[in-house]
Structure 1
Amino acid sequence: MNGVRGRTWASARTGVLALLWGSTFLWIELALDALTPVQVTLSRCVLGSAALLVACLASGRRLPRDRATWGHLVVAAFLCNALPFAMFSIGQQSIDSGLAGVLNATTPLWALLIGVLIGAERGLRPVRLAGLLLGFAGVVLIFAPWRTTGPVGWGALAVLTAAASYAAGFAFMGRNLVGKGIPTISLSAAQLVAATGLTALTLPAGGLTAPEIGPKTLIAVLILGVVATGITFHLTYRTIAAEGATNTATVGYLLPVVSVALGVVALDEAVSLRTAAGMAVVLVGVGLTRRQQGSPAPAVNLGSGRRERPTPRRWPETAASTAGRTAATPE
């Protein structure tokens, strides 16, 4: 029963994370109506870090204090926050929000490649590899790079850079921050504080002009910062701690479904039959990447009063996921 509940909670967390993360592109699109890319990036970092700092203090947690942890947080903040946030804002000046979500769905492929290169992915099961490749094929079907017309160029390249940066950031966080005995709420709040500092340094590059913010833009910026950045980023940290960096990146394959749907409903962006078929392929790919082998095994008493589930056949192991599940701290 514990195994069933654990998988149910993991699936629910993945669905919520995909919904919130996928909505990010809509809020960025609306915020760009009045703000520059630098202003959008800084505002979401400020609001996201403020929301998580309040949650951190309310839960009785403290921010990390040692210099080594903060050094790792600064690197993670650049890879997983400051750089990709800026690239999305720049990229969405020339491409639709739906396409931005589609291109961001390449994050799992970058994560798998990085995991293989750094040795974090061992014994990758064929069914999971097939799911990753099938999911990428769905993204390609949606993007249709063989077409001679459509939104391509620097905007698309910026979003692809963001997707690769996310993957590198997840891997770095899994190896250097998760599983060190620090609560994830403390880590996520501190990392967004660091990202705010890094982004503030870019204000001279287009962020000093006073914007004219209307009610629609204000609401979009608030939701982008508090919900789509603060809450979503904390959920991302929790998922990395529970399932590892590569598994967390597979959430990216669900983003095209959310981003394209929201683009159609809220922004009147067009969607074709080919795009719908691609999204269906994406969903099948996600199902394969998260498929479990065998029946849930009972917990094993290790003799120290602690109970852990054996993992060899049920979880696709990575160095990050092993550390995260063993040392994750309750929030």
Structure 2
Amino acid sequence: MRVRVGAQFVALACAWGSSFLFIKIGLEGLTPAQVVWGRLVLGAVALCVVMAVTRGRIPRDPGVWLRLSVVSVLLCVVPFLLFSWAEQHLDSGMASILNATTPLLTLAVGAVALAGERLGRRGTAGLLAGFAGVLVLIGPGGLAGGQLTAVLACLGATSCYGVAFVYLRRYVTPLGLPAVSVAFVQVVIGAAVMLAATPWLAEPAPRVDARIAVAMVALGALSTGLAYLWNANIVQAWGAVNASAVTYLTPVVGVTAGVLLLGEQLTWNQPLGAALVVAGIVAAHGSPVRGRRRQGKRETATPVAEAGAGRPD
């Protein structure tokens, strides 16, 4: 069991870290909205298979579907569109590092929205360090160039994640739904939204070759579909705090994949900025092992809500 969960942890880091590579390849022949269309539709198909094999329970309460519709828009549709648009102007490695700000923005939103999660000195220091890392990532010339808008789009996406995770914790976690069921419903709703928008997304006509097709299948089935199942299994076995350590690995995978497979250039400010972002996460949330000790009996929240620090993208 330990080996299997460890293998799923590695697979999850690779799937979420390489998702930015797959988006970049998809953009070679598709518009950003078409990339999201393929991602969510293929992800929904993969999760349908998972639900059928595991005999997962599909919620029947319309109120649950309404709440998960909000989650779907905030956790899938809008941030996926923002990241896909941003990668027209940013390297995939840069996007993967910016995605690592998700735990910090979740902390900031939680401090505002949740009465019991006010920022202390440690949390404030973590936020400041993390956002100093973002400024380092932008670099001396980034503020004057078109990259700034793309960086802001990525931060808008991670802000959506932060709002979504707080919403999950407040309105979905108390329902006690299995994490895989929550993932299934939110991805299916997102796929339905994109399918409904198909007439407006058909132009310009997509150009799909073998390279793009493989990237889209991997992005949908692995990074958006199976990754949810792996994440749920890891949280169940290790706890949400330890599972969130995947946050530290996804930027490494994303940057490495961009450099090796797309020939992207690694600039001095990227590893320095990433180090500051990760340091901010550790300062604000603590290390996974210490966090696990503190959490104790609080491991009752749904994996999707509590393990959001390693959010897929």
TM-score w.r.t. structure 1 length? 0.76
Give how far 1:77 is off.
0.5
Equivalent pairs, count: 299
> Residues 196 and 145 (structure 1 numbering): CA distance in 2 closer, same or farther, change over 3 Å?
farther
- Residues of 2 paired with 1:37 and 1:110: CA distance? 24
Read off the aligned partner of 2:83 and give its amino acid letter. F
Residue equivalent to 1:302: none
- Residues of 1 paired with 2:154 and 2:215: CA distance? 20
- Residues of 2 paired with 1:29 and 1:67: CA distance? 37
Give how far 1:150 is off.
5.0
Task: Give the RMSD, CA atoms, in angstroms.
Answer: 3.5
- Residues of 2 paired with 1:222 and 1:128: CA distance? 38
Alignment map for 1:187-266 (pairs within 5 Å): 187-235=182-230, 242-243=239-240, 252=247, 254-266=249-261
1:104 aligns to 2:84 (yes or no): no
Give how far 1:164 is off.
0.8
Higher relative contact order (CA 8 A, sep 6+): 2
Residue equivalent to 1:306: none
Residue equivalent to 1:93: 88
2:295 is paired with a residue whose SS is: coil
- Residues of 1 paired with 2:68 and 2:208: CA distance? 32
Residue equivalent to 1:169: 164
Once the two structures are superposed, residues 205-243 of structure 1 have per-residue CA deviations (whole angstroms, 9 ceiling, x without a partner) of 333544231111110011000011112234456678853
More helix by share: 2
Residue equivalent to 2:287: 291
2:225 is paired with a residue whose SS is: helix
Residue equivalent to 1:115: 110
Instruction: Determine which of 253, 277, 294 is the counterpart of 1:314.
Output: 294
Read off the aligned partner of 2:49 and give its amino acid letter. V
- Give the conservation status (yes or no) of the 8 Å contact 1:142–1:274: yes
Read off the aligned partner of 1:315 and give its amino acid letter. Q
Give how far 1:87 is off.
1.1
> Residues 227 and 270 (structure 1 numbering): CA distance in 2 closer, same or farther, change over 3 Å?
same
Instruction: Determine which of 5, 11, 17 is the counterpart of 1:22.
Output: 17
> Residues 248 and 287 (structure 1 numbering): CA distance in 2 closer, same or farther, change over 3 Å?
same
1:99 is paired with a residue whose SS is: helix
> Residues 232 and 248 (structure 1 numbering): CA distance in 2 closer, same or farther, change over 3 Å?
same
Read off the aligned partner of 2:150 and give its amino acid letter. G
Unaligned runs of 5+ residues in structure 2 are 307-313
- Give the conservation status (yes or no) of the 8 Å contact 1:170–1:249: no
Once the two structures are superposed, residues 70-127 of structure 1 have per-residue CA deviations (whole angstroms, 9 ceiling, x without a partner) of 1111111000001111111111112211221222222222211111111265376755
- Give the conservation status (yes or no) of the 8 Å contact 2:103–2:281: no
Give how far 1:166 is off.
1.2
- Give the conservation status (yes or no) of the 8 Å contact 1:124–1:316: no
> Residues 248 and 167 (structure 1 numbering): CA distance in 2 closer, same or farther, change over 3 Å?
farther
Residue equivalent to 2:310: none
- Residues of 1 paired with 2:274 and 2:217: CA distance? 29
- Residues of 2 paired with 1:25 and 1:121: CA distance? 34
> Residues 94 and 122 (structure 1 numbering): CA distance in 2 closer, same or farther, change over 3 Å?
closer
- Residues of 2 paired with 1:133 and 1:248: CA distance? 24
Give how far 1:324 is off.
3.6
1:140 is paired with a residue whose SS is: helix
Tell me which structure has the larger Cα radius of gyration.
1
- Give the conservation status (yes or no) of the 8 Å contact 2:112–2:118: no
- Residues of 1 paired with 2:229 and 2:170: CA distance? 17
